[in-house]
């Protein structure tokens, strides 16, 4: 079966006024869709076509000969993940176990937000700013172009897309304003907490295996 573009978890206008329907239409309908289409073209007839998106990424991330496959697979995955990181009425602060882990790692929720904003704004050129679990440690990392935590043995909890097409129609060159709005108004903390809970459960099951 060819890889498919996952549907958005909300309507195109659901994130307005913080992310416009026009931005989502271009970003999801053109940029994201193009990665999925290209990936299927590249993998037609390949054994990798039967693998999961995660398996394709991990199989190609260290192989320079598979750079095009990796770039399109990783960008497909990155975008699927990014859409889930936002919701209507999002933003604010996390709670529960996620808040405890973030506070322990970064000193406070505000400290975490400041660090993520600094990383996202400071990413040169196109890329992504992530909250990941590396080993058992929460970290903020940035990746350029299509690169992502799966290629580095890390587990992604949250991401903000800082490719220019993610924000230019709404914010022009004001990347700091976009990232601040993402944190204040768009983050889906339930999704982030769910990612941490899933990882914690997997670690617990592994410890008792």
Residue 164 in any domain: the answer is yes
Q: How far apart are CA 162 and CA 38, in angstroms?
A: 22
Instruction: Say yes or no to pLDDT of 66 above 60.
Output: yes
Asked if 106 and 134 sit in the same domain, the reply is: yes
Q: How far apart are CA 75 and CA 53, in angstroms?
A: 10
Confidence of residue 172 (pLDDT cuts 50, 70, 90): very high
Residue 191 in any domain: the answer is yes
Residue 58, domain extent: 21-84
Q: What is the CATH number of the domain that holds 63?
A: 1.10.287.990
Domain boundary among 61, 84, 107: 84
- Which pairing describes strands 137-144 and 155-161: parallel, antiparallel, or unpaired? unpaired
Instruction: Say yes or no to pLDDT of 145 above 70.
Output: yes
- Cα-based distances in Å from 180 to 50, 81, 116, 124, 200: 39, 19, 10, 17, 29
Asked if 102 and 79 sit in the same domain, the reply is: no
Alpha helices in the chain (DSSP H): 21-26, 33-43, 53-60, 67-84, 96-106, 109-122, 168-171, 175-181, 189-207
- Domains in the chain, number: 2
Asked if 80 and 102 sit in the same domain, the reply is: no
Residue 60 in any domain: the answer is yes
Mean pLDDT, range 1-27, rounded to an integer = 96
Confidence of residue 108 (pLDDT cuts 50, 70, 90): very high
Instruction: Say yes or no to pLDDT of 209 above 80.
Output: no
């Amino acid at each position: 079966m060819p890889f498919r573009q996952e549907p958005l978890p909300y309507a195109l206008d659901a994130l307005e006024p913080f992310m416009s329907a026009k931005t989502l239409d271009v970003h999801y309908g053109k940029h994201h869709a193009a990665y999925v289409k290209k990936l299927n073209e590249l993998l037609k007839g390949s054994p990798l076509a039967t693998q999961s998106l995660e398996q394709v990424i991990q199989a190609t991330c260290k192989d320079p000969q598979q750079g095009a496959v990796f770039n399109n697979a990783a960008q497909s995955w990155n975008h699927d993940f990014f859409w889930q990181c936002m919701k209507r009425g999002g933003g604010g602060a996390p709670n529960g176990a996620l808040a405890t882990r973030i506070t322990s790692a970064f000193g406070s929720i505000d400290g975490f937000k400041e660090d993520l904003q600094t990383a996202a704004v400071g990413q040169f050129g196109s890329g992504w700013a992530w909250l990941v679990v590396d080993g058992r440690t929460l970290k903020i990392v940035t990746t350029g172009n299509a690169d992502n935590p799966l290629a580095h043995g890390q587990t992604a909890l949250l991401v903000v897309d800082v490719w220019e097409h993610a924000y230019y129609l709404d914010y022009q060159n004001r990347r700091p304003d976009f990232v601040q709005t993402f944190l204040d108004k768009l983050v889906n903390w339930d999704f982030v907490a769910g990612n941490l809970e899933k990882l914690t459960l997997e670690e617990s099951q592994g410890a008792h295996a």
